[in-house]
Amino acid sequence: MLISALLGILVGAILGLTGAGGGILAVPALVVGMGWPMQQAAPVALIAVAGGAALGAAEGFRKKLVRYKAALLMAVAGIPVTGFGIRTAHMLSQRVLLALFACVMLIVATRLILQARHAASGLEAGRLGRINPATGRFEWTWITAVLLAAIGALTGFMTGLLGVGGGFVIVPLLRRFTDVSMHGIVATSLLVIALVGIGGVATSMLHGTDVPVAVTVYFSLATAAGMMLGRLASSRLSARHVQQGFALVLVVVATGLLGKAFYAG
């Protein structure tokens, strides 16, 4: 129980510091720290990440940062797809899942490093979802709706497949294809993570996945506590340094997972 609590605090702190990306460390933390297979670690990690994301989303609501209509659309599109991701995960071997997870982590780390080096907000061209400056709300078109639904569906699949929150999908895509502020993107992403995560856990249980209650409760509470600590610390740290540090952690963990995958029996 102590190990799960310590792992939860670590994951929650990173989730709070990075806004929406720390959830990607929850699964490898349980795989390495508890010695679980990914199929067992995924739903436990998802419960903890969804709970922590819900706390962050509540804070976003209080600050009026959450684009709740966009978040609901992404969640509605994503939740049904989690079942497909879960079925795919159960068809793959532990070795393949570990290698796939490690590759995803390396992709996220590369994006963070490039983003930290080139802090510019990106090109205006190609923004498919725009905020109306007069109303402060999305200008809803069918292109905007399709874009958000596609992001939600991809998030749902990755949530079911790897047991991650999906912030590493939502945040860069919203940043690239919309002109929502970064604070608004993170707050909206956290709400999507919470909603899709809850749907993913329910779907996983319907597929017969056994969730150890005691460990899940300890890990979830510790993640929530770490999330609050991370949010407090985030205001005192440079966003660029946080990104670079998080990218380094991802590279180290991904390397370890690749080694575990290659040496797995």
Predicted confidence at residue 160, as pLDDT, reads 87
Predicted confidence at residue 79, as pLDDT, reads 93
DSSP 139-200: ---HHHHHHHHHHHHHHHHHHHHH----HHHHHHHHHHHB---HHHHHHHHHHHHHHHHHHH
Per-10-residue mean pLDDT for the chain, 265 residues long? Answer: 79 74 78 82 86 85 90 95 90 88 89 70 61 83 94 93 83 87 86 90 79 85 84 74 81 86 69
**Residues 223, 6: contact at Cβ < 8 Å?**
no
Domain residue ranges in the chain = 2-263
> 179-209 in b/e burial notation, b at 16+ Cβ within 10 A?
bbeeebbbbbbbbbbbbbbbbbbebbeeeeb
pTM value > 0.85: no
Predicted confidence at residue 121, as pLDDT, reads 46
Helix (H, G, I), strand (E, B) or coil at 129: strand
Predicted confidence at residue 19, as pLDDT, reads 61
Predicted confidence at residue 1, as pLDDT, reads 66
Amino acid letter, residue 9: I
Predicted confidence at residue 126, as pLDDT, reads 58
Predicted confidence at residue 81, as pLDDT, reads 94
Amino acid letter, residue 233: A
Length of the chain: 265
